[in-house]
Amino acid sequence: MRHNRLIAAAGICLALIVYAALARLAGRPVLVGHAEAYWVIVIERFSAYGLLGFLLSFLLPGRVAVACILAVVVVTGIELVQTLIPDRNTVFTDMMQKAAGGIVGVFLAQTILAFLPRPPA
């Protein structure tokens, strides 16, 4: 039951990230307003992908490398699709911020998992 909830949460998180990344600029969700400071945008990116990495890590406990690779593949895939949209641009630093958020999320979840009691075998 818990596994199904994690899959649903990761799927919803990924769907929201894809929507925010691929939506037209006028329809894109914003945190503060349309004149957001750059640091707010960086926190948005980092947090969204950090949550995705966190959920992926809970779905794949003990598989740190797989969860990190999956988070980076998602980031790369979304950035590549953004190149096909005329009013969107892809910047390497954006991709690095997102990938860093995903990887930090994975390691944060793995740290939490290390301190949780393991179920009896």
Series of mean pLDDT values for 10-residue runs along the chain (121 residues): 86 91 73 72 90 93 91 94 82 92 95 84 64
Question: Does a structural domain hold residue 47?
Answer: yes
Is 48 inside any structural domain? Answer: yes
Counting the structural domains of the chain, the total is 1
Position 97 scores a pLDDT of 94
What is the domain range of residue 25? 2-115
Contact 75, 91 (CB under 8 A): no
Long-range contacts of 13-16 (CB under 8 A, 24+ apart): 13/48, 13/51, 13/52, 13/55, 14/52, 14/74, 16/48
pTM (2 d.p.):
0.86
- pLDDT of the residue at 2: 75
Task: Check residue 61 and give its pLDDT.
Answer: 84
Examine residue 120 and state whether it is found in any structural domain, yes or no: no
Instruction: Evaluate whether residue 121 is within a structural domain.
Output: no
pLDDT confidence of residue 121: 64
Residue 17 lies in a domain: yes
Written as six digits, the tokens of 90 are 């892809």
